[in-house]
Amino acid sequence: MGAFPAGQRPSPTMSEHLNPRGPIGVFDSGVGGLTVVRALMERLPFESIHYFGDTARVPYGIKSVQTISHYTTQIAEFLLEKRVKLLIIACNTMAAVAAQLVRDLSPTPVLDVIEAGALSALAASKTRRIGVIGTPTTINSNAYARAIHAIEPEARLTSQACPLFVPLVEEGWLDHAVTRLTAQEYLKPVLAEQVDSLVLGCTHYPLLKPLLQEVAGPGVALVDSADAMAEQTAALLQKLNLSNPDRLPPEYHFWVTDVPLRFQTIGERFLGRSLSNVHVVQW
């Protein structure tokens, strides 16, 4: 992978203007991308972050490509105005259908969870039989299959849309009989293909890890794109000399489009710590 992923080549003047002390911009359709923020906070404790969650318009996973592309552009432009040095598309659905759009408009490098997840899936798989689960839009886009086949054409993929997982996670039913039954049903056709790794291709699914591991069994490695994303971010910042040289407490800001209180309550579950500096953006 090049310094600027997926064919993105900013002019020298653009990269000169990137400030290592600037924040990282992370965005998602709602609260789920905080799983990526959590991994980033742990891996890169001196990097400031501006997070955008489109809580007024979530869920994206059942919307059209056109609508998602429009929303994604709006959010990327908002974060670029905050002078972020790097944009991270934490939402699998946005990454699946609008990653190129963001790369085309962004003067800063762009990373997305699908690229990160594809690389980790291949690293985790011995048999090259890989399962992918995600929202209907992500699965229908075939983005994971394309990303994995671009690296390993021989890989055999089995994909499954799991639309009920997002509401179950938001409800906090992380270890609930209803969620277990739902997971058994969704994973049945995937497990029948003898996959040895399963990509959790949605921001919400890392919270279901223990339950999904139980259902999938010990022979299936669960690939969490949040961890993969944090590793890829660390490597890219270092490569581009964009790591923050200061050893000061970082600043975190959270921008949402609706109901900040609910964002805060559910967000703390995703983040695993308390959350402040939540601002409402009125569009």
Residue tagged active-site, from 91, 110, 143, 148: 91
Interface pick for ligand DGL out of 204, 220, 266, 267 (rule CB under 6 A): 204
Check binding of 72 to ligand DGL (CB under 6 A).
no
Contact 43, 233 (CB under 8 A): yes
Residue of the chain from 15, 35, 48, 92 that contacts ligand DGL (CB under 6 A): 92
Applying CB under 6 A, does 141 fall inside the site for ligand DGL?
Answer: no
CA contacts within 13 A on the Cβ side of 189 = 9
> Is 101 buried (19+), middle (13-18) or exposed (0-12) by CB count in 10 A?
middle
Of 87 and 166, which has the nearer Cβ to ligand DGL?
A: 166
Q: Does 91 engage in binding with ligand DGL (CB under 6 A)?
A: yes
Residue type, 60: Y
74: three-class secondary structure by DSSP: helix
Contact 84, 206 (CB under 8 A): no
Name the residue nearer to ligand DGL (CB basis): 4 or 78: 78
How far apart are the C-alpha atoms of 205 and 259, rounded to whole Å?
A: 23
Other C-beta atoms within 10 Å of 17: how many? 14
Is 186 an interacting residue with respect to ligand DGL (CB under 6 A)?
no
Count CB-CB contacts under 10 A for residue 83: 14
The C-alpha atoms of residue 225 and residue 132 are separated, in whole angstroms, by 11
Which residues, including other chains, have CB under 8 Å from residue 60's CB and lie 6 or more apart?
Answer: 29, 54, 68, 71, 91, 93, 94, 135, 137
CB of 164 to ligand DGL, least distance (A): 12
Is residue 91 among the annotated active site residues?
yes
Tell which residue, 15, 52, 11, has the closest CA to residue 31. 52
| Region 143-172 residues binding ligand DGL, contact defined as CB under 6 A | 166
* Rounded least distance, CB 271 to ligand DGL, Å: 15
Tell me the window of 40-48, 88-96, 173-181, 258-266 that interacts with ligand DGL (CB under 6 A).
Answer: 88-96
215: contact with ligand DGL by CB under 6 A:
no
Site size toward ligand DGL, by CB under 6 A: 18
Given 36, 49, 202, 228, which residue is catalytic?
A: 202
Instruction: Give the three-state DSSP class for 36.
Output: helix
Does position 202 interact with ligand DGL (CB under 6 A)? The reply is yes
Of 15 and 92, which CB lies nearer to ligand DGL in the complex structure?
A: 92
The mark string for 93-112 relative to ligand DGL (x by CB under 6 A, - otherwise) is x-------------------
Q: Which residues pair with 221 in a beta bridge?
A: 197
| Residues catalogued as catalytic | 91, 202
- Binding residues for ligand DGL, per CB under 6 A? 28-30, 32, 58-61, 91-93, 134-135, 138, 166, 202-204
